[in-house]
Amino acid sequence: MADVQDPQKPKTPRELARIRTIAQIVQLGREHLALHGAAALSLRAVARDLGVVSSAVYRYVESRDELLTLLLIDAYGELGDAVDAAVEPFPADDFRGRFAALAHAVREWAVREPSRYSLLFGSPVPGYQAPAERTTGPGTRVVTCLMGILDSAYRAGRLAAPDAAVVHPALAADFEAIRGGLDLAVPDALLARGALVWTSIFGAVSFEVFGQYGADTFSAPDELFQHHVDMLARVAGFD
């Protein structure tokens, strides 16, 4: 039997049909997610839209949580693509520009896809725990990109020196692991600054998307975010 793991699988028709059906389910799930939100995502409703009885869907998707995981990966991928596409046009040495592009790309995607952003960065769906081994890869694309920009700027000598604040020794090992994992050169203090900037971007986006600012507190959210990004670029140490 030749069912050793050959990378070029011949794909029987049945396998192809299966893949197509799963893609349809994910697509429908994506629409339901965008329309009604994560917790309202119903396998039965997806089945109805697929023109099939609910139990049939379980042939393709193990459970509702499994579908959520698929949609999670799907959304992480799109966000990562959006960020990459926004950063790429800027010259490699325009660190500030790339940083600002990243931040605005995150925000724009979040505003465009609030339900999917909520799935990624909102409160965890109750009873659902994302399987780390399948989601950490796509889930770390944005922070990897951000840290890459910081690191390049540091290597180019274009990142302001760390301020007085000393990084607590208990964090040294963690930072060293991050540095190793992402192949970075930035010292601890700058890495900590990067982490703060990272959380701040998502804090600002989440406040806006989740409506924490209040109904009509800010009539010009674009300009508010722009200003935040300006300040964060300064915090990060760009030029």
Partner DNA sequence: GGATTGAGAGAGCAGTGCTCTCATAACCTT
Partner DNA sequence: AAGGTTATGAGAGCACTGCTCTCTCAATCC
Tell me if 39 contacts DNA by CB under 7 A: no
**Residue from 44, 112, 155, 234 that binds DNA (CB under 7 A)?**
44
207 near a second copy (CB under 8 A): yes
List 23, 35, 56, 92, residue binding DNA (CB under 7 A): 56
Q: What SS3 state is found at 237? A: coil
Question: Taking CB under 7 A as the rule, does residue 52 contact DNA?
Answer: yes
Q: Closer to a second copy at the Cβ: 52 or 187?
A: 187
**CA–CA distance from 177 to each of 67, 102, 115, 172, 181 (Å)?**
32, 24, 33, 9, 6
Query: Which amino acid is located at 40 in the chain?
Result: A
Between residue 145 and residue 174, which ones bind a second copy under the rule CB under 8 A? 163, 165, 167-168, 170-171, 173-174
Q: Which of positions 140-169 make contact with DNA (CB under 7 A)? A: none
Biggest CA pair distance of the chain: 67
Task: Say if residues 119 and 125 touch (Cβ distance below 8 Å).
Answer: yes
CA–CA separation, 199 and 206 (whole Å): 10
23: contact with DNA by CB under 7 A: no
**210: partner contacted, choices a second copy, DNA, none (Cβ within 5-8 A by kind):** a second copy
**CA distance linking residue 80 with residue 187, whole number of Å:** 26
Distance, in Å, from the CA atom of 31 to the CA atom of 41, rounded to the nearest integer, reads 10
User: What tokens were used for 23?
Assistant: 């893609």
Q: In whole angstroms, give the CA distance from residue 153 to residue 172.
A: 21
What's the min distance (Å) between Cβ of 215 and DNA? 23
Q: Is 127 in the site for a second copy (CB under 8 A)?
A: yes
63 lies in the binding site for DNA (CB under 7 A):
yes
* Cβ 6 to a second copy shortest distance, Å: 33
Q: Does the footprint of a second copy cover residue 119 (CB under 8 A)?
A: yes
- Name the 3-class secondary structure at 238: strand
Question: In angstroms, what CA-CA distances link 155 with 150, 151, 190?
Answer: 9, 6, 12
Q: How far apart are CA 146 and CA 86, in angstroms?
A: 12
CA gap 28, 15 in Å, rounded: 20
Binding site for DNA (CB under 7 A): 12-14, 17-18, 21, 41-45, 51-56, 58-60, 63-65
Binding site for a second copy (CB under 8 A): 36-40, 118-119, 121-127, 132, 136, 140, 163, 165, 167-168, 170-171, 173-174, 177-178, 192-193, 195-196, 199-204, 206-207, 210-212, 214-215, 217-220, 223-224, 226-228, 230-232, 234-235
